[in-house]
Copies of this chain bind each other. A is one copy, B any other.
C-alpha cells in the first residue's frame, strides 16, 4: 500500500475523520426528520494526574476546521462504498455545512471539572457530527498546554524549549503541540515545521552523532561554532567537564569564535552546571550560557531551580511531548438540550449539567481567582467575569473573537499571576478550587432528572 500524503488527512477527507456512529446517527436524524436544534456541551469530569487545573486550548483551531467542514465528492464516494448509507442521505451530505453557533472559553483559560470548554448549538445532525473531531483536537492541545504550563511555572522565568517532536504521537501532534506550547509560554522549539507554522522561535544545538562522526571533539566544536556563531555546543559526548574545558580552550585559541551556550545532556545536571559555570566564569566567559536537557520534567526543573543550579534554559522532550504522566483527559461531548428541552443522561455518581451554560469567575480582594459559578447562559449573575464567548455565529467565525484568541499566550501569562498559589503547586490540591452551580442551573438539573 502506498501513502500519497504523509499525514493522510486533507481538507477533502476531513469530514471522514470521525467515528462511524456519528454518520449512522446523522442518517437516522435525517430520515426521521429530526432537524431541531441540539446543544452539546464539551467538558471533563476529573482532573488527570496531579493537575490542579487544565488550560483550555484548541477551541479556536477546531472552530476554524468546523467552519470549513464539508463532504467532498471523493469522501462521498468512499461512504457510498461502505454500503451502509442511503443515496439520498449522501446527496444531503453533499450540501452539509455547519450553520450553528459555538460558544467557547478563550484559549489559555484555566478550566475545572464540569465546566464547558465549548457549547455547540446547531440543527442536531450538524452538532452531532462534530463530536469526534472536536474531542480529538481540543484534547490534544489542552493536554499538551496543561503539561507545558507546569514547566513554565517551575522554571520561574528561565526559558523552556520544546525538544519533544520525536516523542510525540505522529505528525499532527508534533505540529499542533507547538501551537499549544506557544500558548502555554514556552520560549522556543526544535521542531522546524511546527515553529514556522505556529510562530515559535526555532532552537537547536547538535547531536552526539555530530561529535562522534569527528575523530576529535574539539574539531567538531570548532567547525560547528565557525559555521553557526553564537551556537550551543553539546559537551557531554565523552565527559562533560572535559567537554567544557575544550570549549574554553577553543575560545582561547581562536579569538572571535562566538559560543552562545554549552548544553549538558546527561549526569547530575545541578553539579555539572555548577562545575561548568565556574570553569566558564574563571575563564572570563560569563556570557556563555548553560542549557540543560536529559529526561527533564516539571519536578526536576523545580528542584534545579530551587537549589540554585546555574542553568539558563531547559530543553524538555519526553515528559512534555505526550504529557507523560497524564496523556489523556476524559473529555465528553454530551447532548444537553434538544428542540428547546433540556436533556441529560442518568449517570449514578456523575454530574451532567443540562441546558445552555455560562461560567463566571470571581476575584478575591487580592486579585486572585477565588471560585467559579456555572449558571444557565441567560441567567442574570451579578458577580465575576463571564468566560464563554461566541466564537462561531451561524457558521461564521467571529472575527473579533478570532483576534482575541491570538492573544492566548498573553492571557496565560496574565492568568498565572491570578491563580491562587495552591493551584500552582505540582501536587494536586483537593478540593482544588470552588466551582458552584447557580440556583437556576440547580433547578433545571432537578427538573431534568
Q: Which residues of A contact B (CB under 8 A)?
A: 1-11, 13-14, 16-25, 27-29, 31-32, 34, 38, 40, 61, 64-65, 68, 78, 82, 84, 124, 128, 131-132, 135-137, 139-140, 143, 163, 165-176, 190-197, 199, 202-210, 212-213, 223-224, 227-228, 231, 237-239, 266-267, 318, 321-322, 324, 327-328, 330-331, 334-335, 338, 343-348, 406
Copies per complex? 2
| A19 partner, pick from B6, B17, B190, beta carbons under 8 A | B190
Once bound together, how far apart are the Cα atoms of A174 and B346, in whole Å? 30
Once bound together, how far apart are the Cα atoms of A343 and B215, in whole Å? 10
Closest B residue to A397 using CB positions: B2
Output the least CB separation between A266 and chain B (Å).
7
**Residue numbers in B under 8 Å from A327 (CB-CB):** 169, 322, 324, 327
Verify B171–A169 contact, CB threshold 8 A. no
Once bound together, how far apart are the Cα atoms of A312 and B163, in whole Å? 44
**Residue numbers in B under 8 Å from A64 (CB-CB):** 2-3
Known contacts A7-B8, A8-B193; can you find 6 more A-B pairs with CB under 8 A?
A: A20-B203, A135-B167, A136-B170, A169-B170, A170-B170, A212-B335
**Residue numbers in B under 8 Å from A170 (CB-CB):** 136-137, 140, 169-173, 176
| A7 partner, pick from B27, B171, B231, B239, beta carbons under 8 A | B171
Verify B173–A204 contact, CB threshold 8 A. no
Closest B residue to A197 using CB positions: B8
Once bound together, how far apart are the Cα atoms of A16 and B6, in whole Å? 12
16 contacts between A and B (CB under 8 A): A6-B11, A7-B172, A19-B166, A22-B207, A23-B204, A24-B224, A28-B206, A28-B227, A82-B202, A136-B167, A137-B170, A172-B172, A212-B338, A213-B335, A237-B346, A267-B348
Q: Which of A10, A195, A213, A343 has the most CB of B within 10 A?
A: A213
**Residue numbers in B under 8 Å from A1 (CB-CB):** 199, 406
**Residue numbers in B under 8 Å from A228 (CB-CB):** 24, 28, 84
**Residue numbers in B under 8 Å from A32 (CB-CB):** 223
10 nearest A-B pairs in the assembled complex, by CB-CB distance: A20-B204, A170-B172, A7-B7, A209-B335, A135-B166, A21-B204, A169-B169, A169-B173, A16-B193, A172-B172
Q: Taking A166-B135, A324-B327 as contacts, is the C-beta distance between A209 and B128 under 8 angstroms? A: yes
Verify A14–B25 contact, CB threshold 8 A. no
Verify B18–A192 contact, CB threshold 8 A. yes
Once bound together, how far apart are the Cα atoms of A352 and B335, in whole Å? 54
Once bound together, how far apart are the Cα atoms of A171 and B43, in whole Å? 20
Once bound together, how far apart are the Cα atoms of A176 and B172, in whole Å? 11
Q: Which of A163, A175, A239, A338 has the most CB of B within 10 A?
A: A175
Closest B residue to A127 using CB positions: B209
Verify A6–B2 contact, CB threshold 8 A. no
**Residue numbers in B under 8 Å from A194 (CB-CB):** 17
Once bound together, how far apart are the Cα atoms of A331 and B7, in whole Å? 22
Verify B169–A31 contact, CB threshold 8 A. no
Verify A344–B212 contact, CB threshold 8 A. yes
Output the least CB separation between A62 and chain B (Å).
10
Output the least CB separation between A318 and chain B (Å).
6
Verify A171–B223 contact, CB threshold 8 A. no
Verify A40–B318 contact, CB threshold 8 A. no
Verify B238–A136 contact, CB threshold 8 A. no
Output the least CB separation between A126 and chain B (Å).
13
Once bound together, how far apart are the Cα atoms of A168 and B331, in whole Å? 12
Once bound together, how far apart are the Cα atoms of A407 and B1, in whole Å? 12
Q: Taking A6-B11, A28-B227, A170-B176 as contacts, is the C-beta distance between A16 and B213 under 8 angstroms? A: no
Verify B6–A9 contact, CB threshold 8 A. yes
Q: Which of A17, A194, A206, A406 has the most CB of B within 10 A?
A: A17
| A9 partner, pick from B18, B23, B175, B213, beta carbons under 8 A | B175
Q: Taking A8-B176, A173-B170 as contacts, is the C-beta distance between A193 and B13 under 8 angstroms? A: yes
Verify A139–B166 contact, CB threshold 8 A. yes
Once bound together, how far apart are the Cα atoms of A17 and B31, in whole Å? 44
